[in-house]
Amino acid sequence: MVFFKKSISERKGRVAIASFAVVLAVTAITGLLGITVGIREKLGTELRAYGANIVVYTEAGAYLTEDFGARISAMSNVEEATSQLMANVVFENMSFESVGLDFQQIKGRGWRLSGNWPKEQGEILVGINLKSALKLEAGKRIKLVGQGNSGPGKEFLVAGFVEMGGNEDNAFILSLPDLWSITGLAPKVSAVLVRGMPGALDAVVANIKRDFKDVSVKTMRQVAVAEDLLLQKIQLLLALITIVVLFSASVSVASTMGATVLERRKEIGLMKAIGATKKEIGLFYKVEAVFIGLCGGIGGFIIGFAVIQAVSKGAFNSFVNIPFYIFGAAVSIGVAVSVFSSLIPVRGALKYNSAAILRGD
């Protein structure tokens, strides 16, 4: 064992370089796997729990107006329609997502509440994750300012905390008029969530499309499929990147190993002379390769993990769960790449004729 340890520590520099290449590859792979399983969880969960089966919205950056909600709920086969506004607000110089909606209309739906349901304007709910992060308590008064709005902002009373497992857990939830008043967006809304009669969804969608121009209407199932497609595209892109990175990592490990092998020609010749078989000499390199793979794999997983969390924080404003097995997968891929790409140089090394190498001159 001590032989392997010293043999590796003798070549710290090279091992570090090769490990770094593996780190890059595993980072990419962790990113790919993490996004596949982790971020998938995030997509669209928030809308699904409201009980809507149709969503009406416009292109990004544009808004609907509030009367859409009222007009849609008056249509046939529509049980109800709620308007929602998504906007960013500033609290203590930090930016947070916020949702504006009609508290009375959605009372109790899809929410797990600690504290009270807001009764009047000026009362708000806060996502459970922000409770400890911002040290908030029910009954406390806090000041929120609309982001990108020069207005002075307003004080609100924290009525309670909600837990939904979705994005709302990281957001402030205000009544629609309150959010309008601090953002100055009145009477705009981001989306209208519609609950149509089951079985008559297609008709409702057709009606909305007919009555309102320039809006997008999707059933929730279409949204799910679209998200699936988007995810697939991201995955494809990442897969391509991963292949490229994997390839360059292999090349890098192979050339590092090649250089090591050249340096160690004398050693190899000597080992042969004292009776080592090719397999046994190869073991020295395999141990080194596994070591590189392990270091690179673990390092890459840690970095990849951080990257996914950063991406997720940026895109969804919350963290993702990365299952345990991804760690195993990442590390084994690291080891596999490293061992595989050191095969060729090591094969070459074992061909040296030891008599020629050890010749006494």
Ligand X SMILES: Nc1ncnc2c1ncn2[C@@H]1O[C@H](COP(=O)(O)OP(=O)(O)OP(=O)(O)O)[C@@H](O)[C@H]1O
156-215 residues in contact with other proteins (CB under 8 A) are 163-166, 195, 198-199
Task: Tell the smallest beta-carbon distance from residue 176 to other proteins (Å).
Answer: 20
CB 337 within 8 A of CB 246: yes
- Alpha-carbon distance 100 to 59, whole Å? 19
> Residue 356 interacts with ligand X (CB under 6 A)?
yes
- Alpha-carbon distance 348 to 358, whole Å? 18
> Residue 351 interacts with ligand X (CB under 6 A)?
no
Residue placing its CB nearer to other proteins in the complex, 186 or 234: 234
- Alpha-carbon distance 176 to 103, whole Å? 9
In three-state secondary structure terms, 251 is helix
- Alpha-carbon distance 191 to 50, whole Å? 13
| Sole window of 97-105, 208-216, 234-242, 350-358 interacting with other proteins (rule: CB under 8 A) | 350-358
Interacting residue with other proteins among 111, 161, 172, 316 (CB under 8 A): 111
| Sole window of 59-67, 126-134, 243-251, 348-356 interacting with other proteins (rule: CB under 8 A) | 348-356
Pick one of ligand X, other proteins, none as the site partner of residue 108 (Cβ within 5 to 8 A by kind): other proteins
Residue placing its CB nearer to ligand X in the complex, 274 or 356: 356
Residue placing its CB nearer to other proteins in the complex, 154 or 218: 218
Pick one of other proteins, ligand X, none as the site partner of residue 122 (Cβ within 5 to 8 A by kind): none
Task: Tell the smallest beta-carbon distance from residue 347 to ligand X (Å).
Answer: 22
Task: Tell the smallest beta-carbon distance from residue 184 to other proteins (Å).
Answer: 31
Look up residue 357 and give its amino acid.
I
- Which residue from 19, 5, 6 is spatially nearest to 303, judged by alpha carbons? 19
Task: Tell the smallest beta-carbon distance from residue 113 to other proteins (Å).
Answer: 8
> Residue 10 interacts with other proteins (CB under 8 A)?
yes
302-331 residues in contact with other proteins (CB under 8 A) are 323-325, 328
Residue placing its CB nearer to other proteins in the complex, 95 or 277: 277
> Residue 60 interacts with ligand X (CB under 6 A)?
no
From residue 198, alpha-carbon distances to 203, 219, 245, 258 in Å are 11, 11, 48, 66
- Alpha-carbon distance 57 to 78, whole Å? 17
User: Cα-Cα-Cα-Cα dihedral of 143, 148, 149, 155, to 10°?
Assistant: -10
- Which residue from 322, 287, 294, 324 is spatially nearest to 308, judged by alpha carbons? 322
Task: Tell the smallest beta-carbon distance from residue 340 to other proteins (Å).
Answer: 20
β-strands 54-57, 78-91: how paired?
unpaired
- Alpha-carbon distance 22 to 15, whole Å? 11
Interacting residue with other proteins among 13, 61, 152, 275 (CB under 8 A): 275
β-strands 94-101, 78-91: how paired?
antiparallel
Before 187, cis peptide (omega within 30)? yes
Residue placing its CB nearer to ligand X in the complex, 321 or 353: 353
Q: 């982790």: which residue's tokens?
A: 38
- Alpha-carbon distance 73 to 66, whole Å? 12
String of contacts with ligand X for each residue 301-340, x by CB under 6 A: ----------------------------------------
CB 125 within 8 A of CB 118: yes
Binding site for other proteins (CB under 8 A): 2-3, 6-7, 9-10, 40-41, 44-45, 47-53, 108-113, 163-166, 195, 198-199, 220-221, 224-225, 228, 266-267, 269-280, 323-325, 328, 353-355, 358-360
Binding site for ligand X (CB under 6 A): 356, 360
